[in-house]
Amino acid sequence: MPAVMYRLAHLSDPHIPPSRRPRRRELLFSQRLVGWTNWRRSRRDVHRREVLDVLTGDLEREAPDHIAVTGDLTIVSSRAEWTACREWLNEIGHGDHVSLVPGNHDAYTRGAVPATRRAWREYMTGDGADPDESMARFPYLRRRGPLALVGVSSAVATAPFLATGKIGSSQLERLETMLAELRSADLFRVVLIHHPPLRTQGDRYRRLLDGKHFVEMVGRLGAELVLHGHDHTSTVRHIESPREPVPVIGVPSASALAFGGKPAAAYNVYEIDRGRHGWNCTMSVRGFEDEAISETQRRPLWRDGHAVVG
């Protein structure tokens, strides 16, 4: 009997505008003032709610088995945004159907880090964890169909004009234990993180500070996919591994118009099944063409248990 195809959707960086501007006291003496000024001056002309609504409407019609969202739901992580983002999450699916990790915009201040973990905790709660706990805990593990979804937080408060991320030593230790245990499980391992773990030219002020440790760990212990956002572009790279290279996939912002060399909004759909000789995974990119969403690219990532490179 043939294996059942499982479909995972991945989107990121929706930057959902709130129904009202942040309160004055939320903007004073914090990075929020810089971020909100940038939003008012230019970014609100690029990130459009109507674009996000068209994309999520297409996502609803595609009806994937599960949805992964890799952060930056907010603009400056104000109280009004936490509510607006929670409403959007409810629209695309309930907590069991959507797995979320936060991004740097969701951690614009130290107080925003625990606040977003409380506000969206049902979407960031691992299997067996108490959904009524006050805050989500990372990394988390969710088993959905043939998938093992591992959510890692790289969202930390930074100084103004920085967009760096950090996993931290305690989270890295728990992640190593989790990945080691999953090596013996017959599951397709998907790691979710906001910041790209592999460095690119010119990312000094936007990089994952402990990305080297993450890359070494994933290369040593393995995974089938690493999904991220942050760069607002579509990328396929690989982490080298003694067994098979691990695909590392980035997606554009889910609300963006094409601007400044960045593509218009898009999301990915991964079709995953278990063949006779190992995992198969095909990635479809669904993005804007002539003001409508369609499939713009389709490529294999895994075939018969082997990563497809190039």
Reference 45, options 9, 25, 15; nearest CA is: 15
Asked if residues 272 and 281 have their Cβ atoms less than 8 Å apart, the reply is yes
In a domain, 173, yes or no: yes
Reference 270, options 282, 252, 286, 287; nearest CA is: 282
Judge if the upstream peptide bond of residue 139 is cis by omega within 30 degrees of 0: yes
- From the number of C-beta atoms within 10 Å of its C-beta (0-12, 13-18, 19+), residue 2 rates as exposed
In a domain, 8, yes or no: no
Asked if residues 225 and 190 have their Cβ atoms less than 8 Å apart, the reply is yes
Give the total number of structural domains in the chain.
1
pTM of the entire structure?
Answer: 0.94
**In CATH, what number is assigned to the domain containing residue 61?**
3.60.21.10
In a domain, 2, yes or no: no
| Site of tokens 């951690």 | 107
Q: Are strands 235-239 and 278-289 parallel, antiparallel or unpaired?
A: unpaired
In a domain, 6, yes or no: no
In a domain, 112, yes or no: yes
* Tens of pLDDT, residues 57-111: 999 999 999 999 999 999 888 888 899 999 999 999 999 999 999 999 999 888 8
Predicted confidence at residue 1, as pLDDT, reads: 40
Q: Count, in order, helices (H) and strands (E) of the chain.
A: 8, 13
β-bridge mates for residue 275, sequence order? 278
Distance of CA 149 to the CA centre of its chain: 12
Composition of the chain by helix, strand, coil, percent to 5: 30, 30, 45
Predicted confidence at residue 43, as pLDDT, reads: 83
In a domain, 108, yes or no: yes
d(CA 174, CA 171): 5
In a domain, 7, yes or no: no
d(CA 110, CA 32): 11
d(CA 166, CA 209): 5
Per-block average pLDDT, block size 10, for the chain (310 residues)?
82 87 67 75 87 96 98 90 94 97 92 91 91 78 98 93 94 97 95 95 88 97 97 96 95 94 96 94 93 92 94
- From the number of C-beta atoms within 10 Å of its C-beta (0-12, 13-18, 19+), residue 277 rates as exposed
The CB density around residue 229, as the number of other CB atoms within 10 Å, is 28
Predicted confidence at residue 28, as pLDDT, reads: 62
Cα radius of gyration rounded to whole Å, the chain: 18
d(CA 222, CA 30): 39
Domain of residue 275, residue span? 13-307
Distance of CA 65 to the CA centre of its chain: 17
d(CA 143, CA 127): 7
What distance separates the 2 farthest-apart alpha carbons in the chain?
62
The tokens describing 60, both together, are: 């609803």
In a domain, 118, yes or no: yes
Alpha helices in the chain (DSSP H): 24-27, 31-38, 44-46, 49-62, 79-92, 112-119, 169-182, 211-221
β-bridge mates for residue 226, sequence order? 191, 248
Asked if residues 147 and 6 have their Cβ atoms less than 8 Å apart, the reply is yes
